[in-house]
Each structure stands twice: as structure tokens, then as C-alpha cells.
Structure 1
Amino acid sequence: MARQRLKSNLPTKICPVCGFSFTWRKKWAKCWDDVKYCSERCRRHRSSNQQP
């Protein structure tokens, strides 16, 4: 059985909409480079909060 990663060693990103720091999730394993938003709510509100 593979060793588990410590939660403190997981990669993190910062959501451009709310500024929240979020960590890697197993469901994002194949698309982590494409993940930009911490939640569906932030993804839906992305255009209203983006700066020019």
C-alpha cells in the first residue's frame, strides 16, 4: 500500500475571485493544472470580480 501524503505537504493555490487558499483534492488529480477556482460559486462569479 502506498504511503499517504501529509495534509501539510499538499500543493495549494489561491482563488483569484475570493483570495481563499485551497489545497489539492484527489478528484483534481488529473486536472490540477487547470483548476483555478476554489468552488463552483467562485467559478460562476469569475467575470464580475476580475480586474481589467
Structure 2
Amino acid sequence: MARMIKKANLPSKICAACGLPFAWRKKWARDWDQVRYCSDRCRSGKVKPG
């Protein structure tokens, strides 16, 4: 059985576009250092910082 990691123990960052915090995701495991945005919407620049 796999060990469960609680979401509170995952690393997090602040989105460069919207300023909201977002947590680590398994799909970002290889390039977590380069991840700057919480979503594709923020990455495309359609969200205004606020």
C-alpha cells in the first residue's frame, strides 16, 4: 500500500499572474523549479493581477 502524503505537507508557490497560492502536482514533478503559474489561464495572460 502506498504512503499517503497530506496536501498540507506539499510544497507550494504563489502564481505570478493572479497572486494566489498553488500546491505541487505530480505532473510538475520534473520541472517544479520552472513552474510559475497555477493554470493555463494564468499562463496565457488573460487574468489581470489583482
TM norm. shorter chain > 0.5: yes
How many residues are aligned here?
Answer: 49
**Once superposed, what is the RMSD of the aligned Cα atoms?**
2.2
Structure with greater helix share of residues: 1
Q: Which has the higher contact order (CA 8 A, sep 6+)?
A: 2
Taking every aligned residue pair, what percent have the same amino acid on both sides?
57
Deviation beyond 2 Å, 4+ runs, structure 1? 1-4
TM-score, with length taken from structure 2: 0.80
CA distance in 2 between partners of 1:4 and 1:30 (Å): 20
Work out which of the two has the higher radius of gyration on C-alpha atoms and give 1 or 2.
1
TM-score, with length taken from structure 1: 0.78
1:1-52 Cα deviation digits (max 9, x unpaired): 5522211100000001101100000000111001000001111107x858xx
